[in-house]
């Protein structure tokens, strides 16, 4: 199988091995090929195979849980006949995924992008600069299994971009920071040099942060439309409306996403420890192992806050994320138990109906 074109968007020996293993167990007897999902249109997906791009429908059995396809997924699909759509039969096991809790009152997870190596968090150095939002993106990025990169855009609008970098460094431990102007290209080459061949990046940030302009600058062509900016806040009126994967020459692929209005957490505690490593490292010196870092005596974190080694707003953000995470985990556990209970009830009803049917058959036989 020739996979040269697939390799340009991230195909490698790992995916080839997974593809061969899955073909033996899940799709025997079907004329199937590997492809990568490059776009989503409600329940219809755009995929890139070795030689072309076309539309696919997911097989019915994929409409459950985490097997539902996402942009960036590697899939095994059946080729379309004539003018029909292809059929996605299997989603290969993901190596990473950037996800959040679904917006609104639902507590399900929404996968923004799959099989990524870098999470490019973009923030404008204008009214879009929001450290609380950046912290939340950082937590989700560490949880994804990919590496976060913070991009401070619109340096052409500020006199001292380094001031923004120094401030952001206090809230993003472990992540490289680049200050750029996607509009005039300043700093874009330095950012590009951070990429490695074969990687996939996802570009996330709020609406108006300059994601589309940066994507166009990285790709060297206008693949995403941008509109003029309002004079009072330098925000564009046009926003990306769907997730889409683009091949990036000499790199791999980049996934553009719409601006997220809500950055709901869906992470485990270890991801928070990484995102707030400045606080989690101090936690090891607390007197009590189960210290909540709120009121206990001998708390090293509270001592650092009092001594201003940890900024008060950083500490408050940590507590807020911690409480939100605790709430989401409890909610998901409650939903899991409810699902198990409903499943047990359904199985019991099925058995009772089967038993009743056998009883009627016995009566009719007599």
Three-state DSSP at 226 gives coil
- So what's the pLDDT on residue 261? 61
Give the span between the Cα atoms of 225 and 211, in whole angstroms. Answer: 11
- Binding positions for GTP: 153-156, 205-213
Q: Who wins on pLDDT, 96 or 209?
A: 96
Res. 184: pLDDT tops 90: yes
The candidate with the shortest Cα–Cα distance to 40, out of 58, 65, 27, 60, is 58
For 95, 120, 248, 275, the CA distances from 144, given in Å and listed in that order, are: 9, 12, 21, 12
Mean pLDDT of 271-297: 89
Residue 349 vs residues 339, 354, 362: alpha-carbon distances, Å? 15, 9, 20
**Confidence at 328, pLDDT banded by 50, 70, 90:** low
Q: Are the C-beta atoms of residues 139 and 264 closer than 8 Å to each other?
A: no
Rounded CA gap, 53 and 167, in Å? 44
Q: Do domains 97-256 and 276-366 have the same CATH topology?
A: no
Alpha helices in 131-242, H assignment, sequence order: 131-144, 161-169, 188-192, 211-219
Three-class SS of residue 276? coil
* The predicted structure's pLDDT at residue 269: 64
Rounded Cα distance between 325 and 264, Å, is 9
Tell me the mean pLDDT in the region 286-311. Answer: 92
Return the closest-CA partner of residue 129 out of 78, 90, 165. 165
Does pTM top 0.85 for this prediction? Answer: no
- Average pLDDT, stretch 153-165? 93
Contact (CB, 8 A) for 55 and 85: yes
By mean pLDDT, which of 217-221, 263-267, 336-340 is the weakest?
263-267
Confidence of residue 157 (pLDDT cuts 50, 70, 90): very high
Residues 6+ apart with CB under 8 A from 311: 170
pLDDT band at residue 228 under the 50/70/90 scheme: very low
Q: For residue 129, which of 148, 154, 98 has the smallest C-alpha distance?
A: 154
Residue 11: the pLDDT is 93
> In this structure, are strands 147-153 and 118-124 parallel, antiparallel, or unpaired?
parallel
**Confidence band, pLDDT 50/70/90 cuts, at residue 337:** confident
The tens digit of pLDDT for each residue in 38-71 reads 999 888 999 999 888 889 999 888 876 557 899 9
pLDDT of residue 258: 82
Higher pLDDT, 100 or 293: 293
Distance of CA 120 to the CA centre of its chain: 11
pLDDT value of position 148: 95
Domain residue spans of the chain: 4-91, 97-256, 276-366
**How far is it, in rounded angstroms, from Cα 63 to Cα 78?**
17
Q: Does the domain formed by 4-91 have CATH 2.40.50.140?
A: yes
Tell me the C-alpha to C-alpha distance, in Å, between residue 219 and each of 118, 122, 188. 16, 16, 11
Binding-site positions: 153-156, 205-213, 286, 291, 293, 299
- Cα torsion angle, 314, 317, 323, 329, sign: negative
Mean pLDDT of 78-87: 79
Burial readout 345-365 (b: 16 or more C-beta within 10 A, e: otherwise) = eeeeeeeeeeeeeeeeeeeee
Tokens of 59: 């097989």
Residue 241 has pLDDT above 60, yes or no: no
Question: Which pLDDT score, from 0 to 100, does residue 346 have?
Answer: 79
Q: What is the pLDDT of residue 352?
A: 76
Phi-psi region of 79 (alpha: psi -120 to 50; beta: other; left: phi over 0): beta
Q: Which among 101, 100, 113 has a CA at the least distance from the CA of 36?
A: 113
* Cα 36 from chain centroid (whole Å): 16
Share of the chain above pLDDT 70, in %: 80
pLDDT > 60? residue 290 = yes
Residue 50 in contact with residue 1, Cβ under 8 Å? yes
CATH number of this structure's domain 276-366, picked from the four choices 1.10.40.50, 3.90.1170.40, 1.10.1060.10, 1.10.357.10: 1.10.40.50
Residues 6+ apart with CB under 8 A from 98: 111, 112, 113, 116, 119, 140, 141, 144, 146, 202, 204
**Which of helix, strand or coil describes residue 218?**
helix
Return the pLDDT at 272.
80
Give strand pairing partners of 248: 252
Bind-site residues for Zn(2+):
286, 291, 293, 299
The arithmetic mean of pLDDT across residues 1-15, rounded, is: 81
Q: Which fold has domain 97-256?
A: Rossmann fold (3.40.50)
Average pLDDT value for the chain: 83
């Amino acid at each position: 199988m020739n996979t040269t074109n697939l390799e340009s968007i991230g195909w490698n020996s790992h995916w080839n091995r997974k593809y061969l293993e899955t073909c033996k167990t899940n799709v025997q007897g079907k004329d199937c090929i590997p492809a990568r999902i490059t776009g989503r249109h409600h329940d219809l997906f755009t995929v890139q195979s070795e030689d072309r791009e076309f539309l696919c429908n997911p097989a019915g059995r994929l409409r459950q849980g985490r097997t539902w396809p996402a942009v960036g997924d590697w899939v095994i699909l059946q080729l379309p006949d004539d003018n029909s759509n292809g059929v996605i039969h299997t989603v290969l096991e993901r190596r990473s995924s950037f996800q959040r809790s679904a917006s609104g009152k639902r507590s399900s997870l929404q996968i923004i992008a799959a099989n990524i190596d870098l999470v490019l968090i973009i923030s404008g150095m204008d009214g879009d600069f929001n450290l609380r939002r950046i912290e939340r993106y950082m937590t989700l990025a560490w949880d994804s299994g990919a590496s976060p990169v913070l991009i401070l855009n619109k340096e052409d609008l500020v006199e001292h971009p380094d001031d923004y970098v120094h401030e952001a460094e206090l809230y993003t431990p472990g992540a490289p920071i680049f200050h750029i102007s996607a509009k005039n290209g300043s700093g874009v080459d330095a950012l590009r040099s951070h990429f490695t061949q074969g990687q996939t990046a996802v570009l996330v940030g709020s609406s108006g942060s300059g994601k589309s302009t940066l994507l166009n600058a990285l790709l060297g062509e206008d693949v995403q439309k941008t509109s003029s900016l309002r004079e009072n806040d330098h925000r564009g009126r046009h926003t990306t409306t769907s997730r889409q994967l683009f091949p990036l020459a000499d790199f791999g692929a980049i996934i553009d996403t719409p601006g997220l209005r809500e950055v709901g957490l869906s992470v485990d505690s270890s991801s928070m420890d990484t995102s707030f490593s400045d606080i989690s490292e101090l936690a090891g010196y607390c007197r009590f192992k189960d210290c909540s870092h709120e009121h206990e005596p001998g708390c090293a974190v509270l001592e650092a806050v009092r001594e201003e080694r940890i900024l008060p707003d950083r500490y408050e953000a940590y507590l807020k994320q911690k409480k939100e995470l605790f709430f989401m985990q409890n909610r998901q556990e409650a939903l899991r138990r409810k699902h198990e209970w409903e499943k047990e009830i359904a199985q019991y009803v099925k058995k009772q109906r089967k038993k009743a049917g056998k009883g009627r058959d016995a009566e009719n036989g007599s």
